Amino acid sequence: MANPAANRATLPITTPLIEARAVRKTYSFGAVPVEVLTGADLSVQPGEWVAVLGSSGSGKSTLMHLLGGLDRPDINGGEILFDGKPISVTHGKRLDGYRNRDIGFVFQFYHLLPELSVFENAMLPGMVGNWMTGHSARRATARESAGALLESFGLGHRLAHRPGQLSGGERQRVAIARALVNSPRVLLADEPTGNLDTVTGAGILDLLAERHAKGLTLVIVTHDPAVAAHADRIVKLDNGRVQ
């Protein structure tokens, strides 16, 4: 397991890799608007592991979706920056490319495609993209990368299996391999151990720590302080703000 204290001590102060500035997000449930984020600020340095800790309904997942470009803040509701550039005003292909190349998502319920094999699921992000921009070369790289990741995660013998034939821990490892296949700079994980038993969950955290040790920036949202404790830094989300 990585040593969070040691990592914290060695982090240089640089431009944040990913940043949320005074982000507000409101959902409408029928006629009733519910403000989930009320001005959340978060700054994550390159190579940092940040845990966002919060209770259920505190807006953790919403913050993660906003950081990952799946959702947008309210109008005039702050901004999300990646490498110093705002992504919340980015549209179309650039935003798709951001999600494909710069970000990797890991979800609580794995979210693997049941029709595809383990290997196909893992290399799926490598198959997504614009063929006009050297996509085929990237696909070949993704194929190699997916094989190597699954092998290193102990799933080399499961490549042709379908997700339905795997255990929960194996599925989550496939999901992590998928998130890493395009070598993203940030991995966003939403309760990655939330659906696993303690031992399996610990294995997943070890795996994440291992990637973090190799320089991967991690943002994990969780309600579990034990999971958050693995991070370099813990921030709490309460009443729609980062405390």
Partner 1 sequence: MYASLLSNRYLTSRLIPLIAVAAVALCVALVVTVVSVMTGFLDMLKSSGRLIVGDVIISSGIGGMPYYDEFIGELKSLPDIAGATPLIDTIGLLRMPYPRGDQKEIAQVQVWAVDPISLATVTDYANDLYWRPAANDAAAQAMADDDPRKHIDAAILRDGQTLTQSATGTPGICLGMHVSVGNARQKDGSYLPRYGWFMPGQNVTLTVVPISSQGKIAEPREQIFPVVNEVQTGIYEVDRNRIYIPLTEGQRLLRLDEAPVFDLSAEPDASGRYPIVAQAPARVTKILVRAKPGISANEVREQVDRAYAAFSLRINQDRREHKRQAAMPDFVNILTWEQQLRDLIAPVEKEREMMRVLFSLIYFVCGGLILSIFWSIVIEKTRDIGILRSIGASRFGVMWIFLRYGLVIGVLGSGLGVVLAWLIVRNINVIHQAIGSDAPPAIWIGSFVLTGICAACLVVYAWKGKLLPILLWLLGTVVLAAIATALMLHHGTLIWDPSVYYFTMVPDQVDWFTAWTTAVGGVIFSVIGAAIPASKAADIDPVEALRYG
Residues of this chain that interact with partner 1 (CB under 8 A) are 65, 68, 70-71, 92-93, 96-101, 105, 107, 111-113, 115-116, 120, 124-125, 127-129, 131, 139, 178
- Nearest distance from residue 13's CB to partner 1, in Å? 31
Minimum distance of partner 1 from residue 11's CB (angstroms): 28
Q: Smaller CB distance to partner 1: residue 51 or 106?
A: 106
Comparison of 25 and 158: residue with beta carbon closer to partner 1: 25
In angstroms, give the least distance from the CB of 39 to partner 1: 20
Task: Find tokens 């005074």 and name the residue.
Answer: 22
The DSSP-derived string for 111-154 is ---TTS-HHHHHHHHHH-S-GGGTHHHHHHHHHHHHHHHHHHTT
Nearer to partner 1, 65 or 230 (CB): 65
Helix (H), strand (E) at residue 45: none
Of 82 and 105, CB closest to partner 1 = 105
Minimum distance of partner 1 from residue 32's CB (angstroms)? 17
**What's the start-to-end Cα distance of the chain, in Å?**
27
C-beta separation of 71 from 25 below 8 A:
yes
What does the block give as tokens for 52?
């966002």
- In the complex, least distance from residue 81 CB atom to partner 1, rounded to whole angstroms: 19
Comparing CB distances to partner 1, the nearer of 129 and 192 is 129
Buried b (16+ CB within 10 A) or exposed e, 129-148: beeeeeeeebeeebbebbbe
